[in-house]
Structure 1
Amino acid sequence: MEDRIDGIEIAVVDCSKYLHPSCDEYAFWVCIGTIVGMLLVSAVMAGMLMGYLSIDKLNILILTMEGSDVEKAQAKRILPIINQSHNVLVSVLLVNAGALEALPIWLNRVVPETTAILISVTFVLLFGEILPSAIFTGTYQLAIASALAPLCRLVMLLMSPIAWPIARVLDALIGEGNDVTRYKRKELKALIRLQQSLPQALELAESLPITNPVSPAASVASSSASVSPGTCTDLHKEEVAIIHGALDMSNKTVNDIATPFEDVFMLDWEAQLDSELMVDILACGYSRIPVFRGHRANVVGLLLVKRLIVIDSDVKKPIKNLTLRKPILVSPDLGCYALLNQFQRGKGHFALVTEQGPYIEACWKANIDVDRTQATISGIVTIENILEELLQEEIQDETDVVDSCTGHGNSERRRARLREAGMIRAAKVFKALAARARRRLRLRPQARRSASQIAHEATPLLTPRATEL
């Protein structure tokens, strides 16, 4: 409404329709304060809704176990709230809906209806949706959610007469919705792969199959890169390979990693430990060698190479006179982790893979030979095979030569190479072991005897367990 005074048009507010400071200053500012309050309530409720419902419960549980002291306190404050996701959803939405519905009503007391709708939509979109969602789901999401936890509990308490029944109905219809995210093995492997630095992760994403063992050349190249301990969140290539190996090994059986039995280096029960056989044993590089009687399927025990430290090759002692240790008998479909548990319990580090384990064990107890038509041995598994599966690469030690001992067990050319490579090493090892034995025995000059004579007399008295030690 307009009025004219001395030729000047003056706008006059109709106090019967809209509030204005000129009409009722107190009521006007109360209305403006209420409008601002409605915007703030809407913004906080929208932010809380986005903030709490977008938090991953798995991440919160991880922080409660492995986070810093501040993160642990914040996570423990938030966890009870996100465990009631439907209750939070309904309670916050009720308050938010009330604020959004009341905002245009209060605006209409100050401005016309059309203007009130335009202002309400603009302010709600900007200050009630976009900014709260960006802030409450940003970098400080955990800290903000923790700080607003008391307010959220208060809202849930005030709205409980309405929100609690609705939340229970939602829980019954669609589930509670607060389960922890559980990854499949392939998803977990991909997640671990992405924990590498971004260039490495992108490179690996283009070549997904990395479960094959790394070649020795590649392992040497990768080991040349420094893998020093630190606080960096990126995982090294070696760490990713080991984690992948641990996950893959649960799906593998003993038969998948066993060395074929025809490629196994074995000793005859009737063989004598002369210098030539000693060289063959040391050149092979094994710490445990199966011993057979008559035919290869009739395994009677394991020769522990470390016991040869006190054996004089000049005596030519028969292998059958030594104390042999019985190997573990495992089924081909036994899991790799189950076999690892047997190794850890001290039952040995060498296993024969066979489906006729009870029959072979009965023959051992009765001290009779195994009938080759009744039992077959498909391969062997050692603790080194298990570790290689975990590490995803072959383990090369100082006794390994260019050709692996497990690859071509019946190759004459390989035996010649092993002999040539092991002759010098065997001589050095025997000299070093003899010197060490003399130092340890500490015999008096008047009663000194050779280590081989002591072993020859003491061997029948030693139990397998004592000799093992």
Structure 2
Amino acid sequence: MAVEYRCCEASFFIHIGIIVLLVLFAGLMSGLTLGLMSLSLVDLEVLAKSGTPQDRKHAAKILPVVKKQHLLLCTLLICNAASMEALPIFLDSLVTAWGAILISVTLILLFGEIIPQSVCSRYGLAIGAAVAPVVRVLVWICFPVAYPISKLLDLLLGDGHEALFRRAELKTLVTLHGNEAGKGGELTHDETTIIAGALELSEKKVRDAMTPLSKTFAIDINAKLDRKLMQEILDKGHSRVPVYYEEKTNIIGLILVKNLLSIHPDDEIPVKNVTIRKIPRVPGDMPLYDILNEFQKGHSHMAVVIKQSNLIQQTSNNVDGDLRLDIDSQKTNEGSMKTTNPIRRWKSYPDSQNTYRSSSRGKKWSRDAEASVLQIHDAPLPKLNEDEEAIGIITMEDVIEELLQEEIYDETDVQEDQ
């Protein structure tokens, strides 16, 4: 009798131990299902590269495990289902059938679902990194069953789960991380504004940032730099002034105001006798990012915006697919450059990168000082047709204002009271 009693007692404690292990195992699988599957590959890559030192270690351990998400999901669910199905079998030998159902449901609900998922949802990264070796072993054990199911899921649902944000979503995400949102974010108002401006800049065109020609100060190339005109230039406070021929829509170049410092107003020197620099001409639908890249090359911080897109012409002899800037010119008998058409014209060629380049050698806006000066001489200046009329001026400052989403005021600007 004593031996039989001891055997029953040993069997009872063995069953209790197995039940406890099954509940804990089911809880671990349930918690990992929520904890690991809620971590996208993008989140883990961000943590692995720019997280805290502890998060980097955890993310590096978890990344190889979650790369095949459907295989991991099938493994965790198979193990969870197996443990929950085995639990009533061991409970049935200890209590009645209805008691086994009641106890198993209570244990699974409380210790196998609620508590594990609550803990793993908060500490999923640390727990997932700690049990990553165990999960790898389980993947290999369940591989014969989990792999076919996971491949079927890949076929039906696709295997790409990289949750990359669109521009609008990134903008909203940045806004939520601002300290003004009241959610504990660290980004200041200026930081969120600049980031949002950078995200929106790719969607804006030159016409969105340009200054209309009606609001632009420009001078006639045949005008004289007398005291009145010099004073007007001084009052405007611009560092560069566009120069036009006959009509304001025919912008042919620009002068740097600093070059006028040595000119005496009483001499009344004609504008065409001073150094006039060539001014790039760009279509209104040119992306702001492209013109920003060109401005930073240093050739010019001002460009003329052209009205008509017919200025952009398709040519069949293009070899490299770049957008080039051509200048029609020819040599005079004296060896100097005579400009038959001093206006730069954009020609369009298909290009996947939408880059804007100049010269036949494919360099962006030549930085040669002599090449950037407009050679007038005594040649008659051309009258542009309607397709080449200027509609506005865009400067580096205009693009920066779009990036900052705020007006930039210098010493000569007059701010209106709000």
Same fold (TM over 0.5): yes
Aligned position for 2:164? 182
1:16-60 CA-to-partner distances (Å, cap 9, x unmatched) read xxxx96652222221111111111111111111111111133221
Residue 234 of structure 2 corresponds to 282
Taking structure 1 as reference, are residues 23 and 144 closer, same or farther at Cα in structure 2, changes over 3 Å only?
A: closer
Which blocks of at least 5 consecutive residues in structure 2 are unaligned?
Answer: 314-325, 329-340, 344-375
Give the structure 2 partner of residue 349 of structure 1. 301
Q: Map 1:2-21 onto structure 2 (within 5 A).
A: none
1:251 deviates by 1.5
- Which residue matches 1:45? 29
**CA-atom RMSD in angstroms:** 2.7
Q: Does 1:151 align with 2:134?
A: yes
| Residues 327 and 116 (structure 1), Cα distance of their counterparts in 2 relative to 1, 3 Å cut | same
Amino acid at match of 1:79: L
Alpha-carbon separation, structure 1, partners of 2:409 and 2:80:
66
Aligned pairs for 1:88-167 within 5 A: 88-138=72-122, 140-167=123-150
Structure 1: gaps (5+ residues): 1-12, 204-231, 405-469
Tell whether 2:348 aligns with 1:364: no
Q: How far off is 1:270 after superposition? A: 2.6
Output the CA distance in 2 between the equivalents of 1:402 and 1:175.
Answer: 56
C-alpha distance after superposition, 1:298-324 (max 9, x if no partner): 333110112223333444332211111
Match of 1:250 among 169, 180, 202: 202
- The percent identity for this pair of structures is 39
Q: 1-side partners of 2:120 and 2:216: how far apart?
A: 64
Are the aligned partners of 2:22 and 2:84 in contact in 1 as well (CA < 8 Å)?
Answer: yes
Letter paired with 1:191: L
Distance 2:93 2:170 in 1: 57
More displaced, 275-284 or 383-392? 275-284
Aligned equivalents of 1:358 and 1:71: distance in 2?
52
Q: Tell me, yes or no, if structure 1 residue 381 matches structure 2 residue 364.
A: no
The DSSP-based 3-state class of the residue aligned with 1:302 is strand
Contact 2:249 2:391 in 1 (8 A): no
The yes-or-no answer on 1:312 pairing with 2:264 is yes
The residue number in structure 2 matching 1:201 is 181
Residues 63-98 of structure 1, C-alpha deviations (whole Å, 9 max, x = no match): 122112222221121112221111111111111111
Tell me, yes or no, if structure 1 residue 390 matches structure 2 residue 403. Answer: yes
Decide whether the 8 Å contact of 2:250 with 2:389 is kept in 1: no
Q: Distance in 1 between matches of 2:182 and 2:31?
A: 34
Contact residue 273 and residue 313 of structure 1 kept, 8 A: yes
Quote how far apart the aligned CAs of 1:288 are.
0.8
Residue 108 of structure 1 aligns to which amino acid in structure 2?
D
Match for 1:84: what amino acid?
A: K
SS of 1:364's equivalent in the other structure is strand
Report what 1:237 is aligned to: 189
Cα gap change, 1:300 to 1:373, in 2 (>3 Å) = closer
Q: Kindly state the Cα deviation for residue 403 of structure 1 after the two structures are TM-superposed.
A: 7.0
Q: 2:252 aligns with which of 300, 320, 325?
A: 300
8 Å Cα contact 1:329/1:357 also seen in 2: no
Matches of 1:327 and 1:318 in 2, distance apart? 19
2:285 is the alignment partner of 1:333:
yes
Query: In structure 1, which of residues 61, 64, 71 is the aligned counterpart of residue 48 of structure 2?
Result: 64
Pick the structure with greater CA Rg.
1
How far off is 1:183 after superposition? 2.4
Of Structure 1 and Structure 2, which has the larger fraction of its residues in helix? 1
Verify the 8 A CA contact 1:330 1:357 in the aligned structure 2.
Answer: no
Deviation at 1:358, TM superposition (A): 7.6
Greater shift in the superposed pair: 335-344 or 63-72? 63-72
* Deviant stretches of 4+, over 6 Å: none
Aligned residue identity for 1:130? I
Instruction: Say which SS state the counterpart of residue 137 (structure 1) adopts.
Output: helix
Say if 1:55 and 1:318 are closer, same or farther in 2 by CA, change over 3 A: same
Residue 9 of structure 2 corresponds to which residue in structure 1?
25
Equivalents in 2 of 1:52, 1:402: separation in Å? 55
Q: Do the aligned partners of 1:298 and 1:370 also contact (CA within 8 Å) in 2?
A: no
- Are residues 1:191 and 2:173 paired? yes
Distance 2:300 2:37 in 1: 52
Relative to structure 1, the CA distance from residue 58 to residue 316 in structure 2 (aligned partners, 3 Å threshold; closer, same or farther) is same
Give 1:387 deviation, angstroms: 0.7
Write the distance in 1 (CA, Å) between the matches of 2:5 and 2:44: 51
Q: Which amino acid aligns with 1:136?
A: C
- Would the aligned equivalents of 1:78 and 1:145 in 2 still touch at CA under 8 Å? yes
Question: What letter corresponds to residue 217 of structure 2 in structure 1?
Answer: F
TM-score, reference length from structure 1: 0.70
Which amino acid letter does the alignment assign opposite residue 393 of structure 1?
E
CA contact (8 A) 1:327 1:348 kept: yes
Using a 3 Å threshold, how does the CA distance of structure 1 residues 281 and 87 change in structure 2: closer, same or farther? same
- 1:142 Cα offset (Å): 1.2
Q: Any idea what SS the aligned residue of 2:261 has? A: helix
Name the counterpart of 1:85: 69
Letter in 1 for 2:145: I
| Corresponding residue of 1:421 | none
CA deviation string 1:398-419 (max 9, x = no partner):
1213479xxxxxxxxxxxxxxx
Q: Deviations over 1:259-285 (max 9, x none)?
A: 111221111223333333222112101
Distance 1:358 1:334 in 2: 11
Query: C-alpha displacement at 1:392, in angstroms?
Result: 0.8
Mapped to 1, the partners of 2:112 and 2:218 lie a distance apart of 79
CA distance in 2, matches of 1:123, 1:270: 94
Q: 8 Å contact 2:251–2:304 — kept in the other structure?
A: no
Q: Distance in 2 between matches of 1:59 and 1:21?
A: 57
Q: Which amino acid aligns with 1:143?
A: A
Compute the displacement of 1:368 (Å): 4.5
SS at match of 1:299: strand
Match of 2:349 in 1: none
What TM-score do you get using the length of structure 2 for normalisation? 0.79
